[in-house]
Amino acid sequence: MKNFFRKVAFGIGPNEEVPSDPLAWALNQLDDVPDLTWKGKIPSRKEMIEIHARKTRIEEKKVRKKYKNDKKLLKIGIERLEDETGQGFWPALELSIRHTEAMHSTSPVLAKLWFFWANHFAIVEGGYRAQFYTGPYEREIIRPNLNQSFEKLVYDVTISSAMIHSLNNSENIGPKSKSAKNKKRTINENHARELLELHTVSPASGYTQEDITQLAYVMTGWRLGWSKSAKDTMPVEFDKDYHQPGKKTVFGKTYKSGKKGLVNVIKDLVNHPNCRDFIATKLCRYLITDNPTEEMKRPIIKAFKDSDGFLPEIHKAAIRVAFEYNDQYQKFQNPENWFLQMAKLADFSWPPSPTIMDLYEVGKKPQLVHKRPLHTLKGLGHFPYGSKQPNGFSDFEVDWTSPELLIRRLVYAKDFFEFTKSKNNNFKFYKNIVKKNFDNPERIIKYLEKANKHYEAQILLFNHPEFLRA
């Protein structure tokens, strides 16, 4: 039963009580979205956009002009600019904020679901997005919506600058729009297709190429604002000059021309039966097993329907199902979840403290310690803002089981011994965390006793089959 604490969260730390009622403990975390636990500075999306715009639109141009005849100097100049604008620092700061929610907040279950939705609505890495935008997008667009409806979440994500940019909707232009009068312009289907396939109804709903094209028409006009100095870094707005006039038909339903089309079509998409099924499947897959059964999905689908897609109710249903099937299914954990569970159980000094992170000033080169979370997650092969494709990272355990990925777990369990606290470097400590987190602690302790160094006990515990799964 105790693996439930890792299945829906990140385990029980050495100084925490084991909750007497695990299900109630989990369900109680899902009604509210508390403030972030991170005590350091948290930049707003707007600030990040400004920092990024200043870099790409002003400073980089200067550097390119200055060194235009010397490739080597240009490379050095660009690298220095990247350091000075904190390119390696910002994602590390975002990871610190994220990991603090998982390890040190009072709502780790909510954090785990936050990670799920952030991955469901993944932003493609694409150049600087991972560095400047994705973390703030996950904090400001996704997280505050976790106690709202799925419909609102989808709408806010769809018109967020991160997603509009990631899926090229600024280039999605009505061929009969005003802006296409003098210059030949047409639609870009990318965002429309993924809104159907990845975000809402999935291919199982049987949409056609014509549905995609029509939805793309509905979405024309939603684009990043434009100014000469900040170009593609402005907030998203609906510009009717780019909108395809006339009615559009998606899934047999007609939508009027204009700004309201998008909100209306999203309302219908999230109420499509395939959408409920798709979300239930993905939640079960994330928490329970690669191949969810109909019985598993049913209560989640019902909660979705009964509550009109209210996310706290959907989440509670999913957690209940995870609890019900807890002893029957154990799932191989993805690298970031594995790392966070290790960090939490072993009481690592992780992530870097707010004091350290706040020492960074824009214009200075970040220190190695400032970039450590970034290097760590990249090294693990699971940098959450570095999705190569809009479908995010895989939730199938088979994708996370291979020699290279086991190597990483061996190496990290060893190397992160430097993050343990000296007071914990004794076998009593390891026995204590095993007892708190496993139903048959003796089975594991028996092996740990064979270790002759503390760091060896750490490698054995965090690569033990029972720890690799939850």
Beta-carbon count within 10 A of 21 CB? 9
Residue 187 binds to other proteins (criterion: CB under 8 A): yes
**What does the per-residue mask of binding to other proteins show for 422-461, with x meaning CB under 8 A?**
-------------------------x--xx----x--xx-
Rounded CA gap, 141 and 59, in Å? 29
Determine the residue type at 212: I
- Residue 393: how many CB atoms within 10 A of its CB? 21
Of 298 and 414, nearer to other proteins (C-beta) is 414
Q: Of residues 98, 120, 185, 199, which one binds other proteins by CB under 8 A? A: 185
- Decide: is 379 part of the binding site for other proteins (CB under 8 A): yes
168 binds other proteins (CB under 8 A): yes
Which C-beta is closer to other proteins: that of 184 or that of 423?
A: 184
Find the shortest distance in angstroms from Cβ 425 to other proteins: 17
For the bound state, the minimum distance from the C-beta of residue 460 to other proteins, rounded and expressed in Å, comes to: 6
Piece of 8-16, 39-47, 78-86, 386-394 that binds other proteins (CB under 8 A): 386-394
* 209 lines the binding site for other proteins (CB under 8 A): yes
Q: Minimum CB separation from other proteins for residue 267, in Å?
A: 24
Does 130 sit near other proteins (CB under 8 A)? no
Helix, strand, coil abundance in the chain, percent, nearest 5? 60, 5, 35
Of the candidate residues 189, 211, 313, 347, the single one contacting other proteins (CB under 8 A): 189
* DSSP secondary structure letter of residue 121: T
Q: How far apart are CA 146 and CA 312, in angstroms?
A: 7
Q: Does 252 bind other proteins (CB under 8 A)?
A: no
| Least Å from the CB of residue 144 to other proteins | 28
Does the protein bind other proteins through residue 284 (CB under 8 A)? no
* Phi, psi (deg, nearest 5) at residue 123: -105, 130
In angstroms, how far is the first alpha carbon of the chain from the final one?
10
> Could you say whether residue 219 binds other proteins (CB under 8 A)?
no
Report how far residue 293's alpha carbon sits from residue 75's, in angstroms, rounded to the nearest whole number: 53
Binding of other proteins at residue 234 (CB under 8 A)?
no
Residue 391 interacts with other proteins (CB under 8 A): yes or no: yes
Residue 347 backbone class (left: φ over 0; alpha: ψ -120 to 50; beta: rest): left
- Phi, psi (5° rounding) for residue 420? -75, 165
Per-residue binding letters, 397-416, with other proteins (x by CB under 8 A): -xxxxxxxxxxx-xxxxxx-
Work out how close the CB of 58 gets to other proteins at its nearest, in angstroms, rounded to a whole number. Answer: 21
Q: Which H or E run includes 305?
A: helix 294-306
In contact, 94 and 129? CB cutoff 8 Å: no
Q: Does 76 participate in binding other proteins (rule CB under 8 A)? A: no
Report residue 43 CA to chain centroid gap. Answer: 18
Minimum CB distance to other proteins smaller for 7 or for 185: 185
Q: Are 38 and 350 spatial neighbours (Cβ–Cβ below 8 Å)? A: no
CA distance 362 to 302: 49
Q: If binding is defined by CB under 8 A, does position 172 make contact with other proteins?
A: yes
Pairing of strands 236-238, 222-224: antiparallel
Q: Which CB atom, from 424 or from 463, has the smaller least distance to other proteins?
A: 463
Q: Tell me which residue of 231, 223, 237 sits closest to 164, measured CA to CA.
A: 223
Total residues at interface with other proteins (CB under 8 A): 53
Q: Tell me: does residue 12 bind other proteins (CB under 8 A).
A: no
Q: How many angstroms separate the CA atoms of 384 and 373, rounded?
A: 11
Task: Determine if 350 is a binding residue for other proteins (CB under 8 A).
Answer: no
Alpha carbons 153 and 156: distance in angstroms, whole number: 5
Query: Closer to other proteins at the Cβ: 145 or 387?
Result: 387
Binding interface with other proteins (CB under 8 A): 167-168, 170-173, 175, 185-190, 193, 197-198, 203, 209, 375, 379, 381, 388-391, 394, 398-408, 410-415, 447, 450-451, 456, 459-460, 463-465, 468
